[in-house]
Structure 1
Amino acid sequence: MPNGPVHTAANLGALAGAYLLGTAAGADMTSFMVGGALGTFLITPDLDLSGKVRTNAEKNWGLLGGLWYPLGYFVKHRGITHTFLRGPTLLLIYFSSILLILCAAVYWVMVNSGIHWNIEIPPNALTQFPSVLGGYLLAYWLHLWMDGYSMKDHKRW
């Protein structure tokens, strides 16, 4: 199994190739690259090691890296997080839950401090989601392929 720097280098190479192909075809690759960076640096299949081994992704989270400990406690390494659909779904739901809780806590503190928080969501934010997800899945699946998992194995879905 490749180590963290090898996974990162392979993902960055694949993302660079996808960027060159996409821009040559006239596509805006910004949101795709954001998803790829997310899957390369922050939300990787190896976050299931949190609390056991300090992974690169956990280090990249800085002080917030500890928020991934419960995940590492409840799932075994190379278990559900190393599947092609269930793994990224679990990690994205976990991440969304963490983000929601953190935003709610910040909002509660701000409201109780008398600070007004006006959030404007860009009108095209939801239209960018498929592209972000595509970049994320490219990085995620490349990690799994490098670990030796095949899409042909139905147990890996």
Structure 2
Amino acid sequence: MPSGRVHNLVNIGAYSLLSAVALIGSRQELFTLTPAQALTFTLGFAVGTFLLSPDLDLAEGRVDSKRHWGLLGVLWVPYGMLFSHRGLSHTWLLGPLTRLAYLALMVALVVGLLSYVAPSVTLPELPQPISLKVLAPLILGYYLSQWLHLIADGVRPDHGVRRSYRKLRRR
């Protein structure tokens, strides 16, 4: 299993190659890529690489992604306790969703606490509605960064399915 640094280097290399292909392809007018789409893809990819790595299931230890959160890295310790390493958090579809759901829960708790403690504080709102043209590249960038991590770990796309099937057969 590669270290966090190797995972980051793999993702940075893949992103560099993908960026070059996107630039050449859009300049050759093979497809259209808006600056907003490129930016949201990059944001999703960077968040998935540096902040929401699948290795956050090891958050009770020293994990690069947890360290990138700074003092807020302590918020990921319960996530590491909830999910066993290379378990559900290392599946191709549900794993990335577990981190997004956990993050949404943490944000909801902080917002709820802030609104209770300081009801006069106004919090920023998300723009409504969020366009699919913006949301799709964000999600694609996030999931691609996660999948590159799993590929580097040698986790196959059917990892979660195979594991669940083996557990059912044992019963």
Q: Same fold by TM (over 0.5)?
A: yes
Structure 2 matches for 1:23-102, cutoff 5 A? 23-24=23-24, 25=26, 26-28=32-34, 29-51=38-60, 53-102=61-110
Largest Rg, 1 or 2: 2
Unaligned runs of 5+ in 2: 27-31, 165-171
Identical counterparts, % of pairs: 35
- By how many angstroms is 1:120 displaced? 4.3
Distance 1:67 1:19 in 2: 32
Letter in 2 for 1:142: L
* AA at the equivalent of 1:75: F
Is the 8 Å Cα contact of residues 84 and 151 (structure 1) preserved in structure 2? Answer: yes
Give me the whole-angstrom Cα distance separating, in 2, the residues matched to 1:27 and 1:124.
21
Structure 1 residue runs of 5 or longer lacking an equivalent are none
Matched residue count: 153
Q: TM-score, normalised by structure 1?
A: 0.86
Do residues 125 (structure 1) and 133 (structure 2) align?
Answer: no
2:4 corresponds to: 4
TM-score, reference length from structure 2: 0.80
Superposed displacement of residue 139, structure 1: 0.6
Q: How far apart are residue 152 of structure 1 and its match?
A: 5.0
Deviation at 1:124, TM superposition (A): 5.8
RMSD: 2.0
Return the match for 1:150 from 126, 145, 156: 156
Deviation at 1:6, TM superposition (A): 0.6
Residues 1:134 and 2:140 aligned together: yes
Residue 125 of structure 1 aligns to a residue whose secondary structure is: coil
Equivalent AA in structure 1 for residue 59 of structure 2: S
Note the C-alpha offset of 1:31: 0.3
1:59 partner SS:
helix
Distance of 2:163 and 2:144 partners within structure 1: 16
